[in-house]
């Protein structure tokens, strides 16, 4: 990370408060429904773990993986599922689809389409930690989020990564490459 200027976008305290508020907004919407939480591996794992501990017990968790970034700072390939949840956990259920960030929208759009059209989810609520509409390439909006940012920042921490690194940072940092003169 030496080649980047770093700025804290969300501290641990702000992130925790955002998770608390998000859970309070989601609880009444999920009440009385059979809910399966589906984090999109790997970035959403930290967000999902922190969020589900704030939701009522009895949720089913399963997982979906859709990879598009590889080692780059922008999407490198088409979004396609390559690890899918068990159909019994999806068919006819309400799915809380979690991801760390919604930027281009390709991954979330494909995940929602796949869970609804191919796996038979009754409804899918796409929920993200960070909504970054400035990079949106397809029509896709989150059901809810912790933070919406209008700038095109590259972020790491709390599941967000740079070539697989820095996911385990406890806060969210914005990185700006240092320009050499």
- Residue 67 has a pLDDT of 72
Rounded CA-CA distance 154/151 in Å is 9
- Residue 1 has a pLDDT of 64
Domains of the chain, with CATH numbers? 29-150 (3.40.50.2020)
Catalytic annotation, pick one of 50, 99, 100, 103 = 103
Task: Return phi, psi of residue 120, to 5°.
Answer: 80, 30
Residue-level pLDDT, tens digit, the chain, 181 residues: 678 999 999 999 999 999 999 999 999 999 999 999 999 998 899 999 999 999 999 999 999 998 765 454 555 557 778 889 999 999 999 999 999 999 999 999 999 999 999 999 999 999 999 999 999 999 999 999 999 999 999 999 999 999 989 999 999 999 998 887 6
Full DSSP string of the chain = -TTEEEEEEE-HHHHHHHHHHHHHHHHHHHTTS-EEEEEEETTHHHHHHHHHTTSPS--EE--EEE---TTSSS--S---EEE---GGGTBTSEEEEEEEEESSSHHHHHHHHIIIIIT-BSEEEEEEEEE-GGG--SS---SEEEEE--S--EEEBTTB-BTTBSTT-SSEEEEEEPPP-
Q: Which residues contact 158 (CB under 8 A, 6 or more apart)?
A: 10, 15, 46, 47, 50, 100, 129, 167, 169, 170, 171, 172
Catalytic, 151? Answer: no
């Amino acid at each position: 990370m030496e080649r980047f200027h770093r700025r804290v976008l969300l501290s641990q305290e702000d992130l925790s408060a955002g998770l608390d508020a998000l859970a309070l907004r989601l609880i009444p919407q999920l009440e009385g429904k059979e809910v399966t939480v589906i984090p999109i591996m790997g970035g959403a794992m930290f967000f999902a773990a922190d969020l589900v501990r704030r939701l009522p017990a009895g949720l089913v968790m399963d997982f979906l993986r859709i990879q598009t970034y590889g080692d780059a700072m922008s999407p490198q390939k088409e979004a396609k599922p390559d690890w899918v949840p068990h159909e019994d956990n999806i068919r006819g259920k309400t799915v809380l689809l979690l991801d760390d960030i919604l930027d281009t929208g390709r991954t979330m759009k494909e995940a929602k389409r796949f869970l609804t059209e191919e796996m038979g989810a009754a409804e899918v609520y796409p929920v993200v930690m960070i909504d970054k509409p400035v990079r949106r390439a397809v029509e896709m909006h989150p059901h809810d989020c912790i933070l919406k940012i209008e700038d095109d920042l590259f972020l790491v921490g709390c599941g967000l990564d740079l070539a697989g690194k820095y996911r385990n940072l406890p806060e969210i940092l914005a990185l700006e490459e240092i320009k050499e003169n």
